[in-house]
């Protein structure tokens, strides 16, 4: 395996061997190790000292099921913390097949010019880019697919990135030509600060990932695939309704944050639910089942059409639908789909942006429930108007612009689609994760609500610190393998699924790890990330939710009652 | 002495005795003690848990020269730190004469209504306010002067405060009817969050400040007055040219930050200098010499007229002229005066706003040197447009909105008119003060540039940590007495001036303090403030300047070269 180091200061590319200490790190373990070692924790995230790191997971590019996720890392301009943003699409597998451990992009061009990078088996070329500047992601991907062929991998920023907005994401083309997003933490702005509009990845002639012990690898891959197919969540719920199966579940549980986190049930929930969406998709000849990367056996994605049967968006996730739906009090799925499409096209995180819109509603910019007003706000982002720049810099920023105190952020990153008062385990994750509020960093919803891996009451404190800690550790390990987070459902209920993952890594790398060793890798990732944040000036005071979560939250009328001291127990490992 | 506690949650007022521990605290010592004891360091500064504290200095209301300054304290929405903002005008003396140690405003009204407070010898009345909502400070002061008579004291917020902008100030009427500003840290937004438009202060029938030993007090007052008159800075420079005498001095010293802190000399400096301003004032029949509060023997203020001889602004300070001038590359004093007038009227800090404008210029919103564009931006603030909300939330906010990395802030507060690379002593103050970048917290310019109190080279590191530390301690003590910071010039060169201050406090309070005791009071204030900031999550990492100050700074081509570790030595006392 090799590392490419791209210096945008002098427009040079170096090919490096992987140092021994990083030999068995992939994905998040690799990006966080590089950022922690090489990026000054005190630096300005938009300056020359920050680095942007792309790393396929350890298993990416192999035939292991659901192993095509990539990690993108940097110091985040949104949170000021270390950041790993995780994404599907085809680039991760292509990089893995070319035996690229990671691409480290550093420095900043002196001139105000944009560039593109082209990665293939011969190396990385840096070329000046003018044609696609100012263009949205759909046009970028279409143009590059015409130029390089449909199979080309693309990682790109839209207008939000070019405007260096703190909610800008990095969009990754999937093999259908649709858009997947490394959504959180503003890494699109970091890519813009390096003056890179897009990266194309062509794995023609790539050698493929070397597997030390192919037969045990194949056997373990089959076991993991079987476990995924057999689990009710990954075998039935997600394939049928996508992640949006959660609207009805969270609404029923009273944990669907509605009207800027005022209550846990939304009157219009049934109109935006996974079940309602499924019917619309079938009616309009969309695709109810679709995947974000080759080799995925879950296929939680879908293709959503409008009333006239035209494509609107793909990968229409629960968190997006909740965000532009319940939290903004909008119950029109077609408007929400338009919002998702605009966000994909301009390259901006839907969670951050939806909560920013709900914060703007709180500040009186538009009314709650005003779907057209919401689409107008998103178009302001696209145009880079002052109002667009306010919304595009996220929920915390929008709150400050309008003097709003009800702003749902932790470490300035928007709180996602599960209210921490009614799903306390994920609340612990929001408060303590190294990433700023992020449900994927320790998805306690699984055990609190879906009763996967046992049951810990979502409404009481008891057990939720331990639950979040264990999930944060396991997630950090999973994010390093390139496996999709959804394999966690199987792991939690089926010990052999976890063993299959350990066996996969062992077979690929010729190692003899135990499950405990893999867990230890997760712990090391968290320790590295937390050490970085502490060096950047973060303290226990930052590991807490905003003040307004001390309000009663209907229908259960629970409050957020973990003290800052209690939350620090997450770090006892 | 008494304390008034105004609860805006239930619209009640309580009169309290001063607890023993706060008996000898005034001004900043009092506001910081209250905030540190009563305001949760983790709270949202715009929420119900923050408190806004007004406190006259210990000597305010007496005949001691230059003793009419007031402290306003709270947790700052701009910096997130504890904040003391210091202001002239007539309210401080009136509160002192009514034997009011401080007014503590807490809570938040449940209803979305505004109120005004009226303070007189009988207590404090809370009344609903509708008439003056949305009005600028000039209209507020005119209207209230007509209603209550010219002598009425007024503390008010303009539109910037009502919009809850983080750069909003609290404006205080002086006895000429002009506007003085508790400028820094966004305390106008905190006043708005308490839903108070203005506070009127009527000291009719007030008993006056009790003086334990009147004769020694009178003698010490005369000695201090004499020292102020005899010192070249406070006896000649400031009375003739105002603080703007500094434009030529800093330009000559190569420390006048120009074009968003790119260089230390400005071609147009002579056109905006104190000397040029003096000529214009004389020509146009303004007033070159004017004071901000009764009993001031320095009179550094002035009244500036336009070409037709109409009043434009008063209290036209060096930092304002530098800000809307050199840092924005504007050399037209009349445009700068218009900018000052608009800021006074809408109630926004001129330093923060000028640096926000220069940051917007950096981001391409308008060109450097575009004076009309600058006035347009200020009018956007007045209207509360999205662009106005960006600028009105300060330099750091504007930088984020436009993806700019050259943003001159410490703890998110704009760096004032002395470049830290060419005036290193004040750079140490910017980095380390508990307040965010603030020249007044330890005005090392005195010794670095004006050679008052000896000389420490402004271009080398040596001696500047000690210089800043000593000045920060002395300033914290002075800010507690209600004396104007400019008495520091005399203190630094004339030991008897300092002794006179000690004698004043002793005579008033029947104490037997030494100079060391007064210094110790300053240290205690700093310890209290720093303890608060640490509890709020600030660390040594926050005590540093932005990355771009590592660039060479012409004409001396010095860089900012203090490490974060070295800067912490300020706290060795």
For residue B346, being part of any structural domain is answered with: no
Judge contact between A485 and A293, C-beta under 8 A.
Answer: no
Judge whether B379 is closer than 8 Å to chain A, CB to CB: no
For residue B142, being part of any structural domain is answered with: yes
Q: Note whether A44 contacts B164, CB cutoff 8 Å.
A: no
Q: Note whether A397 contacts B402, CB cutoff 8 Å.
A: no
Q: Which of A385, A406, A59 is nearest to A209 (CA)?
A: A59
Judge contact between B559 and B552, C-beta under 8 A.
Answer: yes
Q: What angle do CA A268, A270, A276 make, to 5 degrees?
A: 130
The C-alpha of A178 sits at a distance from chain B's nearest C-alpha, in angstroms, of 28
Q: What angle do CA A182, A187, A189 make, to 5 degrees?
A: 130
- What pLDDT score does A105 carry? 98
- Domain enclosing residue B187, as ranges: 2-201
Among B residues 74-103, those touching chain A with beta carbons less than 8 Å apart:
77
Distances (CA, A) of B366 to A287, B359, B360, B524: 48, 10, 7, 45
- What pLDDT score does B294 carry? 87
Give me the number of domains chain A comprises.
1
Judge whether A549 is closer than 8 Å to chain B, CB to CB: no
> Measured between alpha carbons, how far is B246 from A191 in angstroms, rounded to an integer?
43
Q: Note whether B547 contacts A163, CB cutoff 8 Å.
A: no
Count how many pairs of residues, chain A against chain B, have C-beta atoms within 8 Å. Answer: 91
What single DSSP character describes residue B2? E
Q: By CA distance, what is A536's nearest residue in B? A: B541
For residue B304, being part of any structural domain is answered with: no
A446-491: pLDDT as tens digits:
999 999 999 999 999 999 999 999 999 999 999 999 999 999 999 9
Beta strands A287-290; A196-201: pairing state: unpaired
Judge whether A387 is closer than 8 Å to chain B, CB to CB: yes
Judge contact between B448 and B423, C-beta under 8 A.
Answer: yes
Judge contact between B335 and B374, C-beta under 8 A.
Answer: yes
- What pLDDT score does A140 carry? 98
Judge whether B214 is closer than 8 Å to chain A, CB to CB: no
For residue B512, being part of any structural domain is answered with: no
> Measured between alpha carbons, how far is A525 from A475 in angstroms, rounded to an integer?
10
Judge whether B376 is closer than 8 Å to chain A, CB to CB: no
For residue B67, being part of any structural domain is answered with: yes
- What pLDDT score does A294 carry? 87
Query: A491-504 as b/e, with b when 16 or more CB fall inside 10 Å?
Result: bbbbeebbbbbbbb
- Indicate the average pLDDT of chain B: 97
Backbone angles phi, psi at B24, to 5 degrees: -105, 15
SS3 of A101-163: EEEEEECCCCCCCEEEEEEECCEEEEEEECCCCCCCHHHHHHHHHHHHCCCCEEEECCHHHHC
Q: What angle do CA A508, A511, A517 make, to 5 degrees?
A: 115
Residues of chain A in contact with residue B166, where contact means CB-CB under 8 angstroms, are 400
For residue A25, being part of any structural domain is answered with: yes
Q: Is the pLDDT of residue A293 over 90?
A: no
> Measured between alpha carbons, how far is A511 from A313 in angstroms, rounded to an integer?
42
The C-alpha of A566 sits at a distance from chain B's nearest C-alpha, in angstroms, of 16
User: Which of B44, B191, B401, B412 best tests the A interface by mutation, with the highest count of A CBs <10 A?
Assistant: B401
The C-alpha of A547 sits at a distance from chain B's nearest C-alpha, in angstroms, of 7
Q: Note whether A403 contacts B192, CB cutoff 8 Å.
A: yes
- What pLDDT score does A341 carry? 98
Judge whether B389 is closer than 8 Å to chain A, CB to CB: yes
For residue B107, being part of any structural domain is answered with: yes
Backbone angles phi, psi at B217, to 5 degrees: -65, -50
In this structure, the dihedral spanned by the alpha carbons of residues B367, B396, A402 and A157, taken in order and rounded to 10 degrees, is: 80
The C-alpha of A28 sits at a distance from chain B's nearest C-alpha, in angstroms, of 26
Helix axes A333-346, A350-362, angle to 10 degrees: 120
A56-111: pLDDT as tens digits:
999 999 999 999 999 999 999 999 999 999 999 999 999 999 999 999 999 999 99
B233-260: pLDDT as tens digits:
999 999 999 999 999 999 999 999 999 9
Q: What is the mean pLDDT of residues A299-327?
A: 96
For residue B332, being part of any structural domain is answered with: no
- What pLDDT score does A290 carry? 87
Judge contact between B318 and B292, C-beta under 8 A.
Answer: no
Backbone angles phi, psi at A566, to 5 degrees: -60, -40
pLDDT confidence bin for A292, thresholds 50/70/90: confident
First to last CA, chain A: 32
Judged by DSSP in three states, B309 sits in coil
Q: Is the pLDDT of residue B203 over 90?
A: yes
Q: What is the mean pLDDT of residues B149-178?
A: 97
The C-alpha of B450 sits at a distance from chain A's nearest C-alpha, in angstroms, of 34
Judge whether A565 is closer than 8 Å to chain B, CB to CB: no
Residues of chain A in contact with residue B385, where contact means CB-CB under 8 angstroms, are 386
Q: What is the CATH number of the domain that holds A197?
A: 3.60.9.10
Judge whether A564 is closer than 8 Å to chain B, CB to CB: yes
Residue with structure tokens 């293709």? A303
The C-alpha of A415 sits at a distance from chain B's nearest C-alpha, in angstroms, of 17
B274-311: pLDDT as tens digits:
999 999 999 999 999 988 888 899 999 999 999 999 99
Judge whether A46 is closer than 8 Å to chain B, CB to CB: yes
Q: Which of A242-256, A293-307, A399-413, A513-527 has the lowest mean pLDDT?
A: A293-307
Judged by DSSP in three states, A213 sits in coil
Backbone angles phi, psi at A306, to 5 degrees: -85, -175
- What pLDDT score does B292 carry? 86
Residue with structure tokens 């001889």? B309
Q: Name beta bridge partners: A17.
A: A2
Beta strands B100-106; B2-7: pairing state: parallel
């Amino acid at each position: 395996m090799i590392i490419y180091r791209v210096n945008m200061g002098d427009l040079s590319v170096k090919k490096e061997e992987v140092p021994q200490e990083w030999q068995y790190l992939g994905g998040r373990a690799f990006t966080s190790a590089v950022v922690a070692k090489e990026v000054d924790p005190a630096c300005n995230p938009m300056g020359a000292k920050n680095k942007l790191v792309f790393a396929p997971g350890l298993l990416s590019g192999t035939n292991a099921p659901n192993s095509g996720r990539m990690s993108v890392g940097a110091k985040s301009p949104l949170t000021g913390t270390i950041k790993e943003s995780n994404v599907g699409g085809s680039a991760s597998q292509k990089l893995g097949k070319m035996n690229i451990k990671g691409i480290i992009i550093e420095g900043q061009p002196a001139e105000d010019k944009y560039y593109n990078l082209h990665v293939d088996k011969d190396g990385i070329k840096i070329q000046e880019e003018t044609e696609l500047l100012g263009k949205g992601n759909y046009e970028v991907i279409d143009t590059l697919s015409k130029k390089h062929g449909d199979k080309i991998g693309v990682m790109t920023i839209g207008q939000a990135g070019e405007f260096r907005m703190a909610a800008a994401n990095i969009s990754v083309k999937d093999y259908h030509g649709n858009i997947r997003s490394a959504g959180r933490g503003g890494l699109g702005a970091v890519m813009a600060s390096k003056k890179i509009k897009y990266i194309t990845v062509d794995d023609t002639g790539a050698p493929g990932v070397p597997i030390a012990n192919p037969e045990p690898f194949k056997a373990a891959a089959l076991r993991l695939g079987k476990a995924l197919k057999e689990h009710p969540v990954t075998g039935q719920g997600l394939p049928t309704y996508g992640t949006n199966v959660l609207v009805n579940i969270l609404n029923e549980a009273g944990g669907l944050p509605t009207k800027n986190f005022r209550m846990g049930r939304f009157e219009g929930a049934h109109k935006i639910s996974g079940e309602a969406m499924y019917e619309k998709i079938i009616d309009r000849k969309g695709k109810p089942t679709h995947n974000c990367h080759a080799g995925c056996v879950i296929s939680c994605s879908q293709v959503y059409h409008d009333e006239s049967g035209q494509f609107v968006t793909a990968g229409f996730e629960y968190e997006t639908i909740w965000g532009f739906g319940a939290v903004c009090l909008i119950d029109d799925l077609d408007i929400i789909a338009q919002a998702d499409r605009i966000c994909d096209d301009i390259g901006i995180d839907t969670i951050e942006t939806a909560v920013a819109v709900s914060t703007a509603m709180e500040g009186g910019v538009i009314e709650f429930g005003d779907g057209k007003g919401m689409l107008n706000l998103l178009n302001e982002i696209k145009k880079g108007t002052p109002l667009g720049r306010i919304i595009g810099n996220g929920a915390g920023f929008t709150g400050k612009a309008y003097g709003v105190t009800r702003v749902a952020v932790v470490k300035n990153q928007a709180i996602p689609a599960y209210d921490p008062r009614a799903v306390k385990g994920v609340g612990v994750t929001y408060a303590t994760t190294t990433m700023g509020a992020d449900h994927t960093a320790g998805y306690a919803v699984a055990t609190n609500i879906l009763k996967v891996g046992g049951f810990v009451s979502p409404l009481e404190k008891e057990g939720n610190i331990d639950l979040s800690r264990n999930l944060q550790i396991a997630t950090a390990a999973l994010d390093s393998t390139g496996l999709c987070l959804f394999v966690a459902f199987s792991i939690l209920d089926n010990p052999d699924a976890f063993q299959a993952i350990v066996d996969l890594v062992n077979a690929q790398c010729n190692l003899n790890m135990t499950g405990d060793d893999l867990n230890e890798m997760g712990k090391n990732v968290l320790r590295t990330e937390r050490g970085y944040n502490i060096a950047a000036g973060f303290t226990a005071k930052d590991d807490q939710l905003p003040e307004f979560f001390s309000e009663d939250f209907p229908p259960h009328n629970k409050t957020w009652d973990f003290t800052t001291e209690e939350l620090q127990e997450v770090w006892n490992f």
